[in-house]
A and B are shown apart, each in its own frame.
Chain A
């Protein structure tokens, strides 16, 4: 089949009309830049007058943003942060496995799977409504009491995060599965693929693309929530910051810990934005069904 070949000679030089339009657009964009600069200067002046030039600002700066204390507390807070990262890394793996399993269980048809379907549905309903902090208490303090021996806080933390986040992520996956157009399923079944084969080769790969943005969202809130494991007595970034604060009554270590979490989240946020933009471009490009 022939695809139209690009013509050998390129487009003609722009006409006077086009040159006129380009000049107009250039003038417009120069004007926008000037306006942006002007409004930024005015805004900065207002902030300086109303916030920084006030008597309370020095006190705020001293107790929240003391550079000396920030540098002193950083090594300990960083050590604690590594524990957060460890919990996060392990949880990403366990959440992926559990959530995918729960989501697939909910799509299974047939009477044999009835109890599994009900169990999966009940689990997602329950743990999406349950406050994370209660799960953390029940798992972190309840399980060691029942078992009667000490369990590594990392393991308890991963367990609590997995229980809560798998419920959210399973729902995202299920929504992604349902967002794949039914004609795709029909085409796969018409080729003789079974339910699970269709899911694996046709539906899930397409669903995964659709659910990346919401999954990134859940990943970001998971990054923050691993900070709550300090409740379990694990010395993570926040617990380390707390012990620093209790020594000096200066709150800068909390800000340091907070900034570490923000720095962790930023790449994920950027990747999510980039991927969403890419998807949008591709869909606007046209003929994907």
Chain B
């Protein structure tokens, strides 16, 4: 399998508080990797560094063959190759759902509006929101908004999908519909890196699991390894608390 996204020894501090302490990871094409760990372990920061919304203090990030941590790269271009979904949806409230989905295609990729909308409607249909294309986001439930945000993220055919705790703001019933969609995207061959607290889902859908603790990758392996037979005491402790 070919590596799509690779991080090598990422360091990041906020003030004098180190958040990432030499994180490395590999993501191959069509692979789904779940990053688990308690709040404050650096999951969100890691994702934000990977799509250049934060600058790193040390290390290297490769997207395909390009070193995207090189300050000479065009960060806007890099971000348009990645799809990001946030915990709080962050849909644009002044645009219709369809316009939310097509904005990047129209503005960044310069796709004619008609073509962008045609594709946008296909995507909305795929996430089960065809009927809401012309509604504004505040008319949608949390789960619907998050599915719209997923449609928006995949509209430009990103090489990697970065999902940052996308179900943390949803109630259990809505979590199911969003995760169902992620599962479907994974089955269709999307390359996904997701920070998540949904252990059952990570175990079910992810090919690999990374346990992040205090800014370090403490344990890494298949879901079976990490969840059934964790090597580290800290991982065991974390997982026990989650089961309780």
Interchain CA distance A128-B203 in the complex, whole Å: 61
9-residue interface stretch from B60-68, B85-93, B113-121, B221-229:
B85-93
- Size range of the interface on A? 20 to 34
Q: Which of A187, A201, A206 has the most CB of B within 10 A?
A: A187
Which single member of A183, A186, A191 contacts B104 (CB below 8 Å)? Answer: A191
Q: Which of A193, A206, A286 has the most CB of B within 10 A?
A: A193
Which single member of A194, A202, A209, A288 contacts B138 (CB below 8 Å)? Answer: A288
A287 contacts B138, C-beta separation under 8 Å: yes
B108 contacts A191, C-beta separation under 8 Å: yes
Q: B241: CB under 8 A from chain A?
A: no
Q: Which of B77, B90, B143 has the most CB of A within 10 A?
A: B90
Q: Which of A188, A192, A285 has the most CB of B within 10 A?
A: A192
B95 nearest CB across to chain A (Å):
8
Q: A197: CB under 8 A from chain B?
A: yes
Q: B51: CB under 8 A from chain A?
A: yes
Taken residue by residue from 267 to 289, chain A's Cβ proximity to chain B (1 for < 8 Å, 0 otherwise) reads as 00000000000000000011111
B93 contacts A183, C-beta separation under 8 Å: no
Q: Which of B137-172 contact A (CB under 8 A)?
A: 138, 141-144, 152-153, 156
Closest to A202 in B: B92
Query: Chain A: interface secondary structure?
Result: helix
Interchain CA distance A206-B143 in the complex, whole Å: 23
Q: Which residues of B contact A197 (CB under 8 A)?
A: 107-108
Taken residue by residue from 34 to 73, chain B's Cβ proximity to chain A (1 for < 8 Å, 0 otherwise) reads as 0000000000000000010100000000000000000000
Closest to A206 in B: B94
Taken residue by residue from 180 to 214, chain A's Cβ proximity to chain B (1 for < 8 Å, 0 otherwise) reads as 00011011111111100100011001100100000
A191 contacts B103, C-beta separation under 8 Å: yes
Interchain CA distance A206-B93 in the complex, whole Å: 8
B53 contacts A201, C-beta separation under 8 Å: no
Q: B230: CB under 8 A from chain A?
A: no
| A1-B129, A193-B104 known, 6 other contacts, Cβ within 8 Å | A1-B177, A187-B84, A189-B79, A190-B82, A191-B79, A287-B138
Interface residues, chain B, CB within 8 Å of chain A? 51, 53, 76-77, 79-82, 84, 86, 88-94, 103-104, 107-108, 128-129, 138, 141-144, 152-153, 156, 177
